[in-house]
Structure 1
Amino acid sequence: MPLRRTPPKNTATGSDIDGASGFLSDSQVTDVSHNINTARLKRKRDSDIHEFMIEMRNAFSNFTQEQNSKFLKLESTLSENSQALKDIQVSNRCIEEAISFMSAQYDEFRTKINTLEDQMVQDRNYINTLENKIEELQRDSRKTNFEIKNVPKKPKETKEDLVNMIIGLSKTIDCPISKSDIKDTYRVRGKSENAANSPVIVETTSTLIKADIQKMCRAFNTRNKVNLCAKHLGLTIAEDTPIYVGEHLTPRATRLHFLARELKKSGAFKYCWTSYGKVYLRKTDDSKVILINSEVQIHQLSQQQK
C-alpha cells in the first residue's frame, strides 16, 4: 500500500510565485540561501569532528606504542638487574644472620660480664670481711706489745741486751718491771742487713704493763726538757739519739696512723693518737673523736676541709 506524505506547510505554491514569470520572491530566496549555508556548515563540522577523531586515534596509538616501548625497555633492564638484586638479597640475608649472631653473642657476653661484676662485688666484700677479721686477730695478738723506735744497734747485739735495755727504760720512767714481765723481745729486721736504728718490739705479759709503760713514757717527756733518748736505755753509743715508745701497730694501722698524722700536720685536726691498735683524730677540744677505719675515710675528711 503506497504511503502518502503530508506536504509541508511552508511549501511554495503556484500562488507564491511572482506572477507567471516563475521567479522566486525575495523571502523565498533568503530561505533557500540559509538552508544551503546550514547544510554546508553541517558538512564542515562533521568533517572537522572526523579529522579530530582521526588525530586522537593516531595520538593515542603513538602514546600506546611509546609506553609499550618504555615498558619493554624497563622489563629488559629489570631482567638484567634481576641477578644483581638476587645477589643483594642473599648478601642482605647473610648480613642479617651475622648481625643476629653478633647480637646473640653480645647478649651472652653482657650477661657473663654482669655476672662477673656481681661476683667481683661479692668477692670484694668477702675480701674486706676477711681483711677486717685478720686485722682484728693481728691487733688482738699485739695488745700486750709496745714498740721502741729509732733504737741504736749495738755490735753483736743479743736478746739479753734488748731485755736489759727495756728494764733500764722502765727504771728511768719510774715504772720498773722485771725480766719475768717480758714475754719476748726482738729487733725488727730492716730492709737491709746493715740497717741501723730499726724498731725493737717488746711483748709483755699483760696489757696493763704495756699501758703503764706508755703512760709513764708520755709523762716523762712532759716533765723533762730532754725527751727519751738512747742513754735512757742504758746505751753508751749514740746516747743522744731520740727514741719513741708507742703501740705495736699492724701494717694497716701503721699506714692509717701515718696518713692521720699528715692530716693533723695540715692543720685540719688538732689531735691524732692511737689506742689499743686503733687510730683516732679530733678536730678541737670539744669536738667528737673520730675513729679511722680506712684510707678512703681519711681522703673524705681531707676533702671536707678544703
Structure 2
Amino acid sequence: MKESMNFINHKYETIIQDNGDTRDKLRQLQEENGSMQSKIDDLTSRVNQLEQNSRMTNIEIQCMPEKKDENLLNLVIELGKTINCNISEDNLAHYTRIAKLKKDSVRPRSIIVQFNSSKKRDQYLAAAIKYNKLNPNDKLNSSHAGLPGPKSPIFICEHLSATNKALHAAARQAAKDKGYKYVWVRSGRVYMRKTEHSEYKIIRNINSLNNLP
C-alpha cells in the first residue's frame, strides 16, 4: 500500500510538473503569436500604404455606361468641361476600364484615369466635388460626358486600394448603423463625422469602426 501510494504521488507530481511546463510553453507561444500578429498587421498596413501611394495620381469614374466604340479620352475631357476643369490628352498618362470585382454585377466597369501629376488629379477631383455641391439637382451624369439616352448618375472619386475600398464601404455601412452624417475620403484616408459641427474621426481599420460611439 505504501509503495503504491508513493508511486501515485510520484506520478501526480510528475503530471503537475508537466502541466506547469505545458502552461509555460503555451504562454510563450501566445506571446510569440501576439508578436507575429503585430508584425503581420504592420506589414499589411505598409503594403496597403504602398498600394495607395501608387494610385495618388489616379481617379476612378464609376457607373459610366459602356459602349463598344466608346472613346474614354473624350469622355474624360467632356466631364472636365462640365466641371470647369479643362484638360487635354497631355495631362493624362493612361486611362482604361477595369475588370469587375463581381462578374454578375450589372454596373458598368469603372474607368481608371491616371494623370501626369497629383496636382492636376486633385484639381479634377475638387472640381467634380464642387460641381455636385453647386448643382444638387443636376449632379454629374452620363449626359455630361456627351452620352445620348437616359441620364444615369456617375461618380468621380479617388482610386482606392482594395483594402481602403473595403474599409470605405464598411464605414458607409457603419455610418448608417450609428447615425453618422458624413463619410468621405481624402488622400486615401477614410474620414467620418457625426454632425456638421462635431470632430472628424480618421478610420484606419475595422477596429476604428468598432470603437465608434
The TM-score normalised by the length of structure 2 is 0.88
Distance of aligned partners of 1:194 and 1:131 in 2 relative to their CA distance in 1, 3 Å threshold = closer
Distance (Å, rounded) in 2 between the aligned partners of 1:285 and 1:171? 31
User: CA–CA distance in 1 between the matches of 2:199 and 2:77?
Assistant: 38
The CA deviation at 1:193 is 7.8
Whole-angstrom distance in 2 between the partners of 1:148 and 1:290? 26
RMSD: 2.2
- Which secondary structure state, in structure 2, belongs to the residue aligned with residue 94 of structure 1? helix
Matches within 5 A, 1:1-306: 88-155=1-68, 161-190=71-100, 191-192=102-103, 196-224=107-135, 225-236=137-148, 239-266=150-177, 268-301=179-212, 304=213
> How far did residue 196 of structure 1 move?
4.3
Which has more helix, going by share of residues? Answer: 1
Greater strand content: 2
Aligned residue identity for 1:284: T
Q: How many residues align?
A: 211
Q: Distance in 1 between matches of 2:167 and 2:66?
A: 28
TM-fit CA distance, 1:270 = 2.8
The structure number with the bigger radius of gyration is: 1
Runs of 4+ in 1 over 4 A off after TM superposition: 193-196
Deviation at 1:267, TM superposition (A): 6.2
155 and 193 in structure 1: CA distance in 2 versus 1, 3 angstrom threshold? farther
Please give the TM-score of this superposition, normalised by the length of structure 1.
Answer: 0.63
Residue type at the aligned position of 1:234: G
Match in the other structure for 1:39: none
Deviation string 1:181-223 (CA, Å, 9 cap, x unpaired) is 1111222211328854121111111111111111211222233
1:266 Cα shift? Answer: 4.3
> CA shift at 1:249, angstroms?
1.3
Structure 2, gaps ≥5 residues long = none
Distance in 2 between the 1:235 and 1:197 partners? 14
Q: How far apart are the structure 1 equivalents of 2:114 and 2:88? A: 13
Match of 1:170, as an amino acid?
G
Identity percentage of aligned residues = 28
> Does the aligned pair in 2 maintain the 1:188–1:201 contact within 8 Å?
yes
Q: Which moved more, 1:125-134 or 1:215-224?
A: 215-224
Gaps of 5+ in 1: 1-87
Q: Partners in 1 of 2:196 and 2:47 — Cα distance?
A: 33
Pair 1:256–1:171, CA change in 2 (3 A): same
Deviations 1:31-76 (A, max 9, x none): xxxxxxxxxxxxxxxxxxxxxxxxxxxxxxxxxxxxxxxxxxxxxx
User: Comparing both chains, which one has the higher relative contact order based on Cα–Cα distances under 8 Å and sequence gaps of 6 or more?
Assistant: 2
Shift of 1:242: 1.0
- Give the superposition deviation at 1:129: 1.3
The one-character-per-residue Cα deviations of 1:69-118 (angstroms, maximum 9, x if unpaired) are: xxxxxxxxxxxxxxxxxxx3333233223223322321222121111111
Q: Secondary structure at the match of 1:183?
A: strand
- Matched residues in 1 for 2:85 and 2:32: separation? 54
